[in-house]
Each structure stands twice: as C-alpha cells, then as structure tokens.
Amino acid sequence: MKLQGKDQFVQDMYTNVKAFKSKLVLFSRQILNKSFTHFPTLATVKEAGAKVKKYSESLDALHGEFCRRFSDFGKIDKSLQLVACPLSQDPETAPEELQLELIDLQSDPVLKEKSNSLKLNDFYASLNEAAFPNLRRTAQKMLVLFGSTYVCEQTIDVQHHGHQQGQPQIPINRPTPRIHPENCYN
C-alpha cells in the first residue's frame, strides 16, 4: 500500500486505504472458499486448505485494525471527495458556502480543462482568490492535512544527513507549492 511519497495528498492516501480495506475483505472471502488466486504460493502449501479459517480470521482482524486506525477519515470523506473531484459534485448537496462557487467552476470550460491538466494543488492555487475564496480555503484545509508529509520528511532527512557528516546547515532552495501548509505536523 502506498501512503508516503512525493505529491501524496490526503485524498490519495485515503483512496489507497479504502482500496486496501476492500482487498482485505475480498482476500478473506476467497481464502475461506479455498480460492488462492491472489496467493499463488499459499496454493502450493498442502495444509493451506485445512487452515483457511485461521487465514481468513487473520485477514478479518487486519481489516478491523485498518477500520479502527483510519476511522477519522470517514468524518471528512465528503470534503475529501469535493476537493478531489469538484467538477462531479452536486452543488445542491455541497456546503452552502461552496454551492455558487461550484456552479461557477463547473460552468467554466477553461477551468474544467485546468482541472484535468494540473496537479490538484496547482489547480486550486490557479483559481482566482476573489472568485473562489471558499473553494480555495476548503481545498487548502484538505490538501495540507498531512502536509505533503513528504516535503517535511525530506527536509528532516537532508538536515539529519548533513549533521551526521559534520556539514554546516545550508538553506535548501527548493520550489515550494503555492498552497502552503502553515507547518508540517499539526
């Protein structure tokens, strides 16, 4: 499962978690039915068929742990979906402060094209602040939930590596996103 790395934002992480949880359910059911399609090595083990209940229970326990650990994502699921796919959201079911901005966004062919061609953070940064203040604010809140933790981790790694080799700290001049997290870990 991919939860870390460059350009991974919260909606990407949540999508990966949801997919992995669904796979765990599928695996558990298939193993219980002695179908080892996704576990070819297990299929070659003679006693695998006798232990399917144990394997299935282990997968169910792992699924339960993922559900428990990532339960807070359910509370922000609608906001994540709105930010990730603003063009497919129904303005009537969106929060009231976003409804008119969503209609304007969905009606503008240039913005539709930008949405398809730019990375999500660049797309929201490109929106006119006066015309889309609430959408930009909502996107900023969602996109910085976990920073891009990658940026924070890379900065810490570079600083740590420099200290280990006795090198003085050199300011790192890297391109920064236009939507800035106030700090990495809130």
In the chain, % of residues over pLDDT 90: 50
Residue 158 predicted with pLDDT over 50: no
Mean pLDDT for 156-172 is 50
| Cα gap 109→32, rounded to integer Å | 50
Residue 177 predicted with pLDDT over 60: no
pLDDT at 10: 72
Mean pLDDT for 138-162 is 62
φ/ψ (deg, to 5) at 95: -55, 145
Q: Where are the domains of the chain?
A: 10-69, 77-143
pLDDT at 179: 41
pLDDT at 146: 62
pLDDT at 6: 61
Rg of the chain's alpha carbons, rounded to an integer?
Answer: 22
Residue 25 predicted with pLDDT over 90: yes
Mean pLDDT for 99-108 is 97
pLDDT at 90: 97
pLDDT at 144: 81
Are 155 and 6 contacting, i.e. CB atoms less than 8 angstroms apart? no
pLDDT at 182: 43
Residue with the bigger pLDDT between 55 and 5: it is 55
Question: What is the token pair recorded at 175?
Answer: 């391109």
In this predicted model, what pLDDT tens digit does every residue of 36-93 receive, in sequence order?
Answer: 999 999 888 888 888 999 999 999 999 999 899 888 888 888 888 899 999 999 999 9
Q: Quick one: pLDDT band at residue 4, thresholds 50, 70, 90?
A: low
Question: What is the token pair recorded at 114?
Answer: 């930008």
Contacts of 111 (CB under 8 A, 6+ apart): 105, 127
